[in-house]
Every structure is written in structure tokens, then in C-alpha cells.
């Protein structure tokens, strides 16, 4: 299945002093999804924002809200993120002992269920929950910060995840260090949703973001050709 190529800017790299404008600008510039990086200062060594901020952004756009929870535990907060208007809610496989329960809870809330793997976690961690996921997120950096360098081994993991997915209707997303240089590597390996923070939020405003988003899309399409 040749799934659509989607560009998902991470607002972690946006100007938080005008976050609403940064979201509408990047969508107007051609972004497909809005990637929301939630960090708790416990699962990852950084703190970002939570459901109240996402809820405030929700009325500004119809774009898919792709929420990446870097929090542990995640289960007590899933309903809050669903209520905030997230469309996809992604938990980390490493964030708790009951991944299957987390995924079922997300679907029971009427949302798409995602699971993310840290660089050290093998794709085999997903084998027994593969029919319970709508999205797999392969981390190509250690989560916690934007602006880090792409870890090349992520390409092998993407290829393994693609093989595991087979013909299932599951999005394959990659996050961390995605640039015009690394985008074709990950699409060649099989990723169809590309998260990018610092590579998108360069410059300021719709015109600048149109260039960065379309540049990434063109580079990514090159890997699929």
C-alpha cells in the first residue's frame, strides 16, 4: 500500500509567544498534520505543554492534531488529550507496563492510537499489539529536544516496521532530525508521515514556512520515486 506522504510540523520549534498564529501559518503554508510534543520532565528531560494548550489551539484549524505523549504514566491523561481535540494520540512503548491497555483506551475514546519507539527499543516490541495500532512512530533521535541529529539506524527500523505493518492500514511516522537531507532516506525506507520541527520553523510566517514545507515534501517525494 502506497500511503500518502504527510508533513507534520512540530510546534515545539515554533514561537510559543504566538503559538496560535504559528499553527495557522504552518497549515496555510501546506502542512498536513500538526505534531504536538507533550513532555513531562520525567519520561523525558524536558517539559513542554499539556492538554490546556492543545484545547486552546483546537478551534484555530481543522488540520489533524497528532499528539506525541512523552509522559509516564500516560494512561491517567489520555481522556484529557482526547477531550482537548487530539485526533491521533501516541504513547511510548517504554512509558508503562500495559501498552495494550493504553492503545485500547485511546481507541475507546474514539481516537486513533499510536505507539512510539525510542531508538533503543526494537520493532519486535510491537509484534503482539500490531492490530491495535493506527500509527507507528519511529524516533530518529532520543526524545526530549528539537534540533538533534538524525540517528541513521532509524532507517533500518522504519524498514522493519514497514514489513511488520504489511497490508494493514497503519501510518508509519518518523520524528527527529528530519531535514531535506534525511527526508529521502526515511521515505525510501517506508515512512509516510514526516515530523519536522526546526527544519520547518525556520524564518517567520507563511511565506517562509511555505518554502520549508514544500522543500521537505519535494525531498521526501524523491525518496519514494
Question: Per the annotation, where are the binding residues for a divalent metal cation?
Answer: 35, 37, 68, 175
Concerning whether 175 is annotated as a catalytic residue, the answer is yes
Which stretch, 23-31, 52-60, 81-89, 143-151, contacts ligand DX5 (CB under 6 A)? 143-151
173 binds Zn ion (CB under 5 A): no
- Quick one: 41 or 163, whose CB is closer to ligand DX5? 41
Instruction: Rule CB under 6 A: choose which of 41, 45, 122, 147 binds ligand DX5.
Output: 147
> Applying CB under 6 A, does 196 fall inside the site for ligand DX5?
yes
User: Could you give the residue ranges of the DSSP H alpha helices within the chain?
Assistant: 19-28, 51-57, 78-83, 99-108, 154-165, 183-189, 206-224
12 binds ligand DX5 (CB under 6 A): yes
37 is an active site residue: yes
Q: Which residues, 6+ apart, have CB-to-CB distance to 78 below 8 Å?
A: 89, 91, 102, 105, 106, 109
| Count of residues of this chain found to bind ligand DX5 when the rule CB under 6 A is applied | 21
Asked if 175 is part of the footprint of ligand DX5 (rule: CB under 6 A), the reply reads yes
Q: Which positions from 69 to 88 touch ligand DX5 by CB under 6 A, shown as an x/- string?
A: --------------------
Binding site as annotated, residues for substrate: 10, 68, 144-147, 175-177, 197-198
Transcribe 73-104 into DSSP letters.
S-GGGHHHHHHTT-SEEEEETTS-S-HHHHHH
Percentages helix, strand, coil for the chain (3-state, rounded to 5) are: 40, 20, 40
Name the residues annotated as catalytic. Answer: 37, 175
Amino acid at each position: 500500500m502506497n500511503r500518502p506522504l504527510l508533513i507534520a510540523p512540530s510546534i515545539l520549534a515554533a514561537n510559543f509567544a504566538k503559538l496560535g498564529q504559528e499553527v495557522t501559518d504552518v497549515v496555510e503554508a501546506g502542512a498536513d498534520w500538526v505534531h504536538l510534543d507533550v513532555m513531562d520532565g520525567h519520561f523525558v528531560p524536558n517539559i513542554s505543554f499539556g492538554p490546556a494548550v492543545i484545547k486552546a489551539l483546537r478551534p484555530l484549524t481543522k488540520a489533524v492534531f497528532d499528539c506525541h505523549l512523552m509522559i509516564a504514566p500516560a494512561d491517567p491523561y489520555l481522556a484529557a488529550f482526547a477531550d482537548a481535540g487530539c485526533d491521533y494520540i501516541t504513547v511510548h512503548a517504554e512509558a508503562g507496563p500495559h501498552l495494550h491497555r493504553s492503545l485500547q483506551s485511546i481507541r475507546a475514546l474514539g481516537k486513533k492510537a499510536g505507539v512510539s519507539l525510542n531508538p533503543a527499543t526494537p520493532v519486535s516490541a510491537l509484534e503482539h499489539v500490531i492490530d491495535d495500532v493506527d500509527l507507528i512512530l519511529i524516533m530518529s533521535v532520543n526524545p526530549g529536544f528539537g534540533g538533534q541529529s538524525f540517528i541513521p539506524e532509524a532507517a533500518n527500523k522504519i524498514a522493519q516496521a514497514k514489513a511488520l505493518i504489511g497490508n494493514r492500514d497503519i501510518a508509519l511516522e518518523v520524528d527527529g532530525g528530519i531535514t531535506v537531507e534525511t527526508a529521502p532516506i526515511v521515505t525510501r525506507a517506508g515512512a509516510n508521515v514526516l515530523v519536522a520541527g526546526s527544519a520547518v520553523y525556520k524564518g517567520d510566517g507563511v511565506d517562509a514556512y511555505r518554502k520549508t514545507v514544500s522543500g521537505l515534501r519535494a525531498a521526501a517525494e524523491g525518496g519514494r520515486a
